[in-house]
Amino acid sequence: MFTKISIRWLRRALKMVAVLLTVGLLLGIFMGGAQPMAVGLVPAPWDKLVHAAVFAVLAGAIGFASGLYGWRMLLLSFWGAVLVGALDEWHQMYLPGRSAGLDDLASDAAGAALGAAALLQRERFQKWFFSHH
């Protein structure tokens, strides 16, 4: 069914996708967020949902790209995404028309927690799957 070579190749390919996704999200957050069109792009309260979704994906991508497992991966994914959120809020203090907010950072952290939780579930599923096949 699955050979060691195909599993190894799939893991490498997925890790590369996660690295590219992480870089793409960072570019979008910092470069895209600095564009004038980003001001008021998503109206409140929907902007908090967008923050949470983006940072959930970012946390998942960071954790998957890291190649770590267990609590190390979960800590890196969560705190890495929260750090990006904090840096983004700090960055926004210096952008015309933008403002930093603890409410945005809280949404980022909630999303990061969801992303880390999804990684935990993925890890549990992976252990179950490979133990039964």
What gap in Å lies between CA 71 and CA 75, rounded to an integer? 6
Write down the pLDDT at residue 2.
63
What gap in Å lies between CA 30 and CA 83, rounded to an integer? 13
Span 51-81, pLDDT tens digits: 999 999 999 999 999 989 899 999 999 999 9
Write down the pLDDT at residue 106.
97
Using the predicted structure, report yes or no on whether residue 125 has a pLDDT greater than 90.
Answer: no
Using the predicted structure, report yes or no on whether residue 122 has a pLDDT greater than 90.
Answer: no
Question: Is the backbone of residue 69 left (phi > 0), alpha (psi -120 to 50) or beta?
Answer: beta
Mean of pLDDT over the chain: 90
**Domain, as residue range, for 83:** 67-125
Q: What share of the chain is helix, strand, coil (3-state, %, to 5)?
A: 80, 0, 20
Q: Report if residue 117 sits inside a domain.
A: yes
Residue 117 vs residue 44, higher pLDDT: 117
Write down the pLDDT at residue 42.
86
The whole-angstrom distance between residue 120's C-alpha and the CA centroid of its chain comes to: 14
Give SS3 for 27. Answer: helix
Q: Report if residue 81 sits inside a domain.
A: yes
Mean pLDDT of 80-100: 94
Q: Report if residue 86 sits inside a domain.
A: yes
Mean pLDDT of 97-121: 94
Q: Report if residue 15 sits inside a domain.
A: no
Q: Report if residue 8 sits inside a domain.
A: no
Q: Report if residue 6 sits inside a domain.
A: no
The amino acid present at 96, given as its one-letter code, is P
Q: Report if residue 96 sits inside a domain.
A: yes
Q: Report if residue 93 sits inside a domain.
A: yes
Write down the pLDDT at residue 133.
57
Closest of 31, 54, 38, 34 to residue 105, by C-alpha: 54
Q: How many domains does the chain have?
A: 1
Residue 39 vs residue 90, higher pLDDT: 90
Please provide the distance, in angstroms rounded to a whole number, between the alpha carbons at the two ends of the chain.
8
Mean pLDDT of 12-24: 96
Mean pLDDT of 68-96: 95
